[in-house]
Amino acid sequence: MARQHAKTLWYDRPKYVYMEFCVEDSVDARVLIEDYRVVFSCKTPEGVELYNEIPLFARVNSKDSQDKRSGRSVTCFVRKWKEKVAWPRLTKEDNKPVWLSVDFDNWRDWEGEEEGELAQVEHYAELLKKVSVKGPAPAMDDLDDDSDGADAAGSP
């Protein structure tokens, strides 16, 4: 019987690349994470052998990477060698295998978030500067006890 590929989802984060091999009730699941590739193999309960070898887009820290198995899938947390560098794709090659998809439920465009956050902090700092600059106290001559309270009470 020929080997098949396991459906694989992936998404990118500043420090890690996440891969999920979607295989329910896998048997003999094995994950090998090397600096430039990930190899996954297992058997389905029906005895079908699944095998994925993924040459990675960039180098990873294989010693600080791990995998987690559940009844529905095997997830890999692969630590990037160069953090905060976005991966445009998972594989070294530009072509995308049919069994590989982006996990849009977990995907977030984090690239450039720091610049956006920095701009927001600067904006708030400017606002605080404007608010904290104290001028003379407002004149309160127009407030007196004899004023008509009907305007204040009757206004919506």
Mean pLDDT for all residues in the chain:
83
pLDDT at 18: 95
CA dihedral for 79, 82, 86, 87, sign (positive or negative): negative
pLDDT at 104: 87
The residue written with tokens 């048997």 in the block is 27
Is the predicted pLDDT of residue 9 greater than 60, yes or no?
yes
CATH class of domain segment(s) 8-102: mainly beta
pLDDT at 105: 86
Summarised one tens digit per residue, pLDDT across range 95-145 is 989 999 999 888 777 655 555 555 665 665 666 666 655 667 667 777 766
pLDDT at 71: 87
- Taking residues 141-150, what's their average pLDDT? 62
Check residue 111 and give left, alpha or beta (phi > 0: left; psi -120 to 50: alpha): beta
Helix (H, G, I), strand (E, B) or coil at 56: strand
Rounded Cα distance, 51 and 72, in Å: 16
Residue spans per domain, the chain = 8-102
Tell me if 54 sits within 8 A of 78, measured CB to CB.
no
Summarised one tens digit per residue, pLDDT across range 67-90 is 999 889 999 999 999 999 999 999
